[in-house]
Structure 1
Amino acid sequence: MALVTGGGKNIGREAALTFARGGATVVVAGPGRADLEETVRLIEAVGGRGSAVVADVTRAADAAAMVAAAVERHGGLHIAFNNAGIFGTPAPVAEQDEDVWSSVLAVNTTGVWLSMKYEIAHMRAHGGGAIVNSASNIGFHTRRPGLGAYAASKAAVSVLTRTAAREYIGEGVRINAVSPGGTDTPMSFRPGETVGERDARVRAVVPAGRVAETREIAAAVAWLASDEAAFVVGHDLVVDGGASA
């Protein structure tokens, strides 16, 4: 059984579908019921089983209830992809709005921590499991100005992942992260940018010459969560076409 936060669209939806195609029952969680229910419909369309939980991962009660619902409905929790995240409004560090800073850190970092807190508790008591957290290649470099809040939040996820991985691998809970680069989602566009303008900008800075497809990020997540990656612990897998090489 796999749990995907931020499972209502984009990378989260694609990861949920990838898990479903691999035979997992999938619970998708997030704030938007309509998006989550559409993901469940798509899971069922590929022959899988899924359900939705409306949850705000910045709230401990919601994170706990999300994990409890997954376990109660489907009998356990074996895989978790903590993917919920927001970009925020870009601004230089000294000009960043305090509310934007707080909301970005709350969703991207505290949300991952709270999700792990309750996922790990269940997995420790039931024979282990695999967790993948969503970080970002922006946590490794600062080539784009104005992303201090987002970069800080994702760098924190990477460090938190390594810390938790060492703490819980001895109890069978294997924790890693994935760090996508620019991916074909709304986050890859700058304000007012067309697809052609985005693609031209990306070609100039990404050695692979394009953004990632969501399926490519989902495939990396699925591998990290699989038994084939059983000896991969505390790793942050960068999938960015060479942008941070």
Structure 2
Amino acid sequence: MTTSKYPIVLVAVLVVALVVPVLFVPSTPSSTPYKTAAHLIAPGNVKGVFTTAQTFVNIFGRHLLSPLFSSMGSKPSIPAMSQQSVHEFTVKDSSGNDVDLSIYKGKVLLIVNVASQCGLTNTNYKELTEVYSKYKDQGLEILAFPCNQFGSQEPGTNEEIKNFACTRFKAEYPIFDKINVNGENADPLYKFLKHSKGGGILGESIKWNFSKFLVDKDGKVVDRYAPTTSPSKIEKDIKKLL
């Protein structure tokens, strides 16, 4: 990569560096004084900052980062997965019991990694409850998987997480065992979801709390939505599959 190409790559890196710390702002006040400039931004601004950065990357990212990627050679091959459907996986419920996802055959699924202390928590949990109430009798199921990998914003036990969602937001859909969604220890289901629908220019990895995957009645992953895409914005896609 020539020296002249470094500035544009640096711009992209700076955008990510400025946005990621902002997302670590908890949704509840803390007695510990904030020590970074990012903490001066209120949780309510997280969505706006995240959306702006996402738009920037979608528009300019490919042009900014392609010189860097090309200089690194071709992308490593991704091993093929033997599973062809979400229904082939088994996960753990909040009590540690196995749940065979084949029980959801014939259902449309919205799979979400959730967190209780995120700036996106209130909006997403509220709308997930509304969407589920509206379409559950038509064949929609929402599968919520707590994850503590993003800013440590899901620190509680399975019982605490479930009580939070069910008491505060009246969640009637299942809250499963806390899992990892990225890295070597990522749950196999999430490896499959990411393999089925990558995350665009920034790669397959889950970017933040409340990323969403829409799955059809046959267990095929139809679409993937950013953390800032509210559940109500997915309604039209859900209705097409019901």
TM-score when normalising by structure 2: 0.32
- For the pair shown, which has the larger CA radius of gyration, 1 or 2? 2
As a proportion of its length, which structure holds more helix? 1
TM-score when normalising by structure 1: 0.31
